Amino acid sequence: MNPAVIPKNNDFEIVFAGRSNVGKSSIVRALSGRKVKVGKRPGVTLKPTHVKKGELVITDLPGFGFMNGVKERKQDIVKDKIVRYIEEGNQRINIAAIVVDAGSFAEVVDRWDQRGELPIDIEIFDFFTEMDLEPLIVVNKMDKVKEEDKDRVLDAIIERLGLFPPWRQWIGRVAPISAKKGDLQALNSILKKRIHSAKRDSLLKYI
């Protein structure tokens, strides 16, 4: 992964956003086959980093929310940088994805809701939607969810993001995966369909 890569306007860019430690960097590593920086501590990635393969660019945006050893003011700055990056690259960014933790997302959202606050996850998801990016919902760590609970968990996640359950009606936008187990089939399928729809089939070999 090379932070010095600067995506160009003719590139096809896929961006991944999400809370610190939800597995974004692991997903980028699994998708690209490239060695990338993956940290055990939240908040290791503090600025956008990129993997470039031909005209395909996969971008790992900095994690928001809690970041180990990072003051609250700096966290706000990081969030502002994410928003600015999306605004400035809107014409170049083809696919945007919000990555969430299957086991904790609903609980985190409900906790914020009880305080009368809007979670950053939902804020960023809504921002992607306002930018007409039709964001994907990548639900990572599905290996930690019991088989009989999977539909219930996924329904709860999409409902909190403002979509109507059942989640299966959003099969083109919701990707239940386990980056740790190397199970990215649902995400790969969605990405390939979107690349094909964009008439960029020459990039399919990189996914």
DSSP H helical segments within 61-104, as ranges?
A: 72-88
pLDDT digits (tens, 9 = 90+) for 20-57: 889 998 999 999 887 665 544 555 456 788 999 999 99
- For 111, the enclosing helix (H) or strand (E) is helix 105-114
Strands 136-140 vs 174-176: parallel, antiparallel or unpaired: parallel
Instruction: Say whether pTM exceeds 0.75.
Output: yes
Element (H, E) at 105: helix 105-114
Backbone angles phi, psi at 64, to 5 degrees: -105, 175
pLDDT at 48: 87
pLDDT at 167 exceeding the cut of 90:
yes
Tell me the H-state helices in the chain: 24-32, 72-88, 105-114, 120-130, 150-160, 185-197
CB 190 within 8 A of CB 207: no
Is residue 68 predicted with pLDDT exceeding 50?
Answer: no
Question: What pLDDT, on the 0 to 100 scale, is given for residue 77?
Answer: 75
Mean pLDDT on 168-175 = 97
What does the alpha-carbon distance between residue 120 and residue 192 come to, in Å, rounded to a whole number?
28
Q: Is 96 helix (H, G, I), strand (E, B) or coil?
A: strand
Omega cis (within 30) before 62: no
On the question of pLDDT at 157 being above 80, the answer is yes
Residues ≥6 apart with Cβ < 8 Å to 74: 67
- What is the Cα–Cα distance from 123 to 65, expressed in whole angstroms? 12
Who wins on pLDDT, 91 or 69?
A: 91
